[in-house]
Structures are given as structure tokens and as C-alpha cells.
A = this chain, B = another copy of it.
Amino acid sequence: MAALLRARAIYDFNSENPGEVSVRENEIVSLYSEQDIEGWLEGTNSKGERGLFPASYVEILRGDNNNTLGDAQSESRYANVPSAAGVDNAFPPPAQQPTYQQPSQGSDDDWDDDWDDNSTVAEEPGTTGNRYRDFDGNGASTYSVSTCSTARGQHPKSSATVSRNLNRFSTFVKSGGEAFVLGEAAGFVKDGDKICVVMGQHGPEWQENPYPFTCTIDDPTKQTKFKGMKSYMSYKLTPTHTQEQVNRRYKHFDWLYARLVEKFPVISVPHIPEKQATGRFEEDFISKRRKGLIWWMNHMTSHPVLARCDVFQHFLTCSTDEKAWKMGKRKAEKDEMVGANFFLTISTPAAPLDFQEVESKIDGFKAFTKRLDDSTLQLNATAGEFARKQMSGFRKEYHKMGVSFKVLSQAFEMDQQVYSAGLNQAISFTGDAFESIGDYFADQPNKDLDPIMDLLALYQGHLANYPDIIHVQKGALTKVKESQRHVEEGKMEAAQAEGITERCNIISCATLAEIQHFHQIRVRDFRAQMQHFLTQQMAFFHKITATLEEALRKYDAA
């Protein structure tokens, strides 16, 4: 049977751990079974090396190869990411965020000059911003509280009571979700770190921030260092709770984002605006980035958990003292309560959730996010095209009308009739009015469509986060079902299964609280933005009407 089953690699896969084999794109491999073990297949590559490779990296060859290939390509948005075992395939965890780039050192000009040149904290290149580094086995030295070995190197036919997910790409594994559910997370939770999920009207929700605040971001100024050799943009941040201004650069936001992503496995950290290598000091780009950062900040300060966390507060409040900044930075980078341990800090409502109800809610939310993703993409494309049309076609049509009116008034001026002079001027003025209206159309998208598109970009970032978040919750639920089965089969102690259920409850509470927060903030944001949009549109058409009225008045005297 083994010799008969073949598959073709559809992506390169480089073996990085014992037991794995590398395959090249289009390489034909023999399989021992077409049944994957938690996302991995065992087989022999063309060099005769035997081992494991991700199931989603290959397509099994049958009679109808073309069709199989077609299927493999149909989900191209996430196609180069192996799917997670035991979890619905509709939301495979993306290796990279599809909307915004992953923050990383060296890829953006902002990082040209390291703002922490004298840092004594050793950082490996590529460490910062890698959301799951602790669970990849890289940089594990900074994750000292982990009490268990990671999954790497273990054979799929493990004899562990509850099997481990061998797929190193699984968000459930990387986020620390699996480690926590299996009771492997441990750490000392200070009272200040405690995060409460309370039972609200619509289900679990994050306890509100008792000290809400906001933070303004002023126009950035261009700064130089090294005697003008290096220059960068510095943003002035003023949080309402301190009223003290701090200066931050884009790379500071980038660093903070990386910390937050690492720390909170089931919280949707808003993406920071896209990086741009060229034109960093151009007005348009600066304005666009600032607007993006304002949106980001708004979402950060609105979030009951993110707004209060230490690393964000350090970012917002640590002023010009270089030493204090570095201390806080190092503390954040050494934070033990990240990933799996984050779940230790969560306190849940007394009554445990009904997992069936949770599952149904999560499934509903998944369908909702899929639909919302599609509709925001559509609205974004339409708004972008509408903006482009207003700036080109609409403007041109009104301009052409304006020019034609002016040409008519110039012809009229040749008539040498005194009584026509007033009319000639009025028509000329009408020409100017239409040219102005053309300009209004060109200027308008910046005032109403751009903010809509900024909002959509932010939410597309959130929507890209949710597959991972849902994945973690679903992974936990799978472990619960597995443990219950094991108990029934007498392979596991009931107490151990209960622990898994309790920890799954914590993850579920956090996930539902985050979803609830998403809904609330979504309604708030879209209501405000639609109101802003309509108000701006009305002001726009009012302005046009006023311009026309001014032109009309010229005919009274004509």
C-alpha cells in the first residue's frame, strides 16, 4: 500500500527538526498513509529520506491531478500555510498577517539607527516582533517560567496521555494555548496583573477600565541625530491621565506592538500602520501614518486589557529619562506573564461556561468575521475607486463645464454690446464656480472616504487576527473532548480532565470577552465613522450649493 500512494510537494519545506524531511516544490514523495497525524504526513522524499512533512505542503496524486491542484489553489489567500489538525480548515492560521506587515528589525528605514545602541540586553536578529518565538524554540532563554519541553523532536506516535500537536505552525501550540490547557504554564501572578472577565448582559466581557483615558498624537516633527547624519520623525503623544507629553518614533510603536502580540494570545492587538521604505518624510505619507497611529491609539486606549498593561503604560508615560526608558524596556522584554502564562492572570466568572454554547457562539462569530471580511474588502475597493473617480473623472467633467462656460463668455465679450457685459461676467463667474466644484470633488475623498478606508484597514487587521484567536479556543475545546474520551477509556484521571476543562473555560471566557469587546467597539467605530462621513458629505454638497448660489446671484445684476 505504501508504495502505491504518492504526493507532489506544492511548496518547499525545509526540515528543521529530527524526524522531518525536506521536500522541494513539485518533488514527488511516497506516503505511508494519506491519513495525516495532526497535520503531518509520513513519507519518503525523492532522495529516499524518510520522515515527516506538513500535510498541507503536498497534494496527494490521484487520477484527477488537475482537479486536486485546482482545489489546493482555490484557498490561495492562506495557501502557503499548513492547516492545523483537528481544527476547521476555513481559518488556517496565517504565517504572516495578510493586511499589515509583521514588524521586524532591519526591514524599515526607521530602524536604520538603533535607538537602543547601548542596550545591554542581547537581542537576536529577527527576534522582535516574532509573535510566537518562545514556542518555536528560538529565543527560549527569555521564557524561563515554562515548565515543560516544547513539542519539537517528539514523535507523532507519542505515548503521552493527551497527544501533543506536532505541527510547529499551529497557533494553538505557538500561542501557549496548548501548554496552558495541558497545565504546563506556571508563574507568580501579582495582584496588579490580574485580569477580570465578568459576566455581562451579552455574555463574558472584560471588566471595564476604571480609569479610562485617551491619548492625542500631534503632528510629528523631523528630528536629527549623529550631527544630522540620521533623521527621523518624532510623534508627540499626550495621554489624558498624565497630561505629560512624550516623544515616540515609529519604531517605538513597532516594538510595543511586538510585545503586545507576544503577550496576549487571545486579544486582537490592532495593527500599526504599514511601513514604508521610501518617502518617509513626504507630507502625504506622514499625514497618513499619523492618522493610522491615531486610529491605533484609539483602539489601544479603548481596550480594557491593552490600555492597562504595563508595557503600554511604560510606552505612554516614560518621558525623556533615557535610563528609566531602558529599564522599562528590559522589564517588558523579560515579562514572564506572556503567552501561556497570560492565561494564568485571568479570573473568570464563578459559573463555568456551557461549552456547547461557546462553540456555537464561536462558530457564529467565525461566519460573521468571514462575511465582514468580504464586505469590508468590497467597501474598501468601492470607496477607493469612488475616491479615484472623484479626483479624476468627476473633477475633469466639472472643469470641462467650467472651461466651456468661460469660452462662451469670451465669445460673448466680442459682441461689443454694453448691455451684455453683466451677463458675460456672470457666465465667466459660473465657469469659475464649476472649476471650483471640480476641485471640491477632488479634495473631498481626503475628508470622508479616506477616514472610512482607514477604519476599514484597521478592522481588516482585526479580522486577520481572529482566525488565530478562534484557533486557540478551538484547540482548547478539542483537548477537552480528547481528555473526556481518555477518561471514558480509562486512560486519564478524572481530576486531570477536570483541570483541562477548567483551563479551557478560562480560554473560552477570554475569547468571548474579546469578541464582545470587538462587537462593542465595532458598533461604536462604524456609527461614529458613518456619521462623520455623512456629515462631511453634507458639508461638501452645502459648499457646492453655496458656490452655485454665489454664481446665480451674479445674474441678478446682469
Q: Is A235 an interface residue (CB 8 A)?
A: no
Is B404 in contact with A379, judged by CB distance below 8 angstroms? yes
Q: Contact string, A395-425, partner B, CB cutoff 8 A, digits 1/0?
A: 0010011011101101110111111100100
A73 at the A/B interface (Cβ < 8 Å)?
Answer: no
Q: Say whether A411 contacts B368, CB under 8 Å.
A: yes
Within 8 A of B (CB), among A496-555: 519-520, 522-523, 526-527, 530-531, 534-535, 537-538, 541-542, 544-545, 548-549, 551-552, 555
Known: A426-B530, A430-B534, A531-B555. A417 touches B382 (CB 8 A): no
Assuming the A-B contacts A527-B555, A531-B555, A545-B538, are A400 and B417 also in contact, with contact meaning beta carbons closer than 8 angstroms in the complex? no
CB distance from A285 to the nearest CB of B (A): 26
Q: How far is B368's CA from A410's CA once the two chains are assembled, in angstroms?
A: 10
A375 within 8 A of B: yes
Question: When the two chains form their complex, are residues B410 and A375 in contact, meaning their CB atoms are under 8 A apart?
Answer: yes
Q: Are B419 and A404 touching (Cβ within 8 A)?
A: no
B541 with A367: CB separation less than 8 A: no
Q: Are B526 and A537 in contact (CB under 8 A)?
A: no
A238 close to B (CB within 8 Å): no
- Which of B394, B530, B555 sits near A394, CB closer than 8 Å? B394
- Shortest distance from the beta carbon of A555 to any chain B beta carbon, whole Å: 5
Q: Smallest distance from the beta carbon of A467 to chain B beta carbons, Å? A: 17
Binds B, one of A57-65, A107-115, A149-157, A385-393: A385-393
A383 interface contact, C-beta 8 A: yes
A427 within 8 A of partner (CB) = yes
A379 touches B408 (CB 8 A): yes
Question: For A548, what are the chain B residues with a Cβ–Cβ distance below 8 Å?
Answer: 534, 537-538, 541
| A105 CB-CB contact with B under 8 Å | no
A371 at the interface (CB under 8 A from B): yes
A202: CB under 8 A from chain B?
yes
Tell me, yes or no, whether A71 is within 8 Å of chain B by CB.
no
A259–B216 Cα gap in the complex (Å)? 80
- With A383-B404, A401-B386 as known contacts, state yes or no: A420 contacts B534, CB within 8 Å: no
Flag whether A374 is at the interface (Cβ < 8 A).
yes
Query: Does A80 make an interface contact (CB < 8 A)?
Result: no
User: Does any Cβ of B come within 8 Å of A189's Cβ?
Assistant: no
Q: Is the CB of B379 within 8 A of A523?
A: no
Inter-chain contacts of A378 with B (CB < 8 A): 404, 407-408
Nearest B residue to A456 via CB reads B408
Q: Contacts of A407 on B, CB cut-off 8 Å?
A: 374-375, 378-379
Tell me the minimal C-beta distance from A12 to chain B in angstroms: 36
> Judging by beta carbons under 8 Å apart, are A397 and B385 in contact?
yes
Please measure, in the bound complex, the distance between the C-alpha atom of A530 and the C-alpha atom of B551, giving whole angstroms: 10
Interface residues of A in 331-386 (CB under 8 A from B): 364-365, 367-368, 371-372, 374-376, 378-379, 382-383, 385-386
Is A324 an interface position by the 8 A CB rule? no
A197–B374 Cα distance when bound, in Å, is 76
Given known contacts A379-B408, A401-B383, A408-B379, A417 and B202 CB-to-CB distance under 8 angstroms: yes
- Tell me the smallest distance from the CB of A218 to a CB of chain B, in Å: 29
Q: Does A558 contact B (CB under 8 A)?
A: yes
Contact of A375 among B364, B386, B404, B555 (CB under 8 A): B404
Nearest-neighbor residue (CB-CB) of A420 within chain B: B523
CB pair A404 B382 closer than 8 Å: yes
Q: Given that A386-B401, A411-B372 are contacting pairs, would A549 and B538 also be in contact in the complex, using a CB cutoff of 8 Å?
A: yes
Determine which of B419, B519, B530, B552 lies in contact with A415 in the assembled complex, contact meaning CB atoms within 8 Å: B519
Q: Are A527 and B401 in contact (CB under 8 A)?
A: no
- Distance of A389 Cα from B549 Cα, bound (Å): 24
Choose from B430, B530, B538, B544 the contact partner of A555 (Cβ within 8 Å).
B530
Besides the known contacts A386-B397, A393-B393, A527-B558, 10 further A-B residue pairs in the complex with CB atoms under 8 A apart: A202-B419, A364-B414, A367-B414, A372-B411, A378-B404, A378-B408, A379-B404, A423-B530, A534-B551, A537-B548
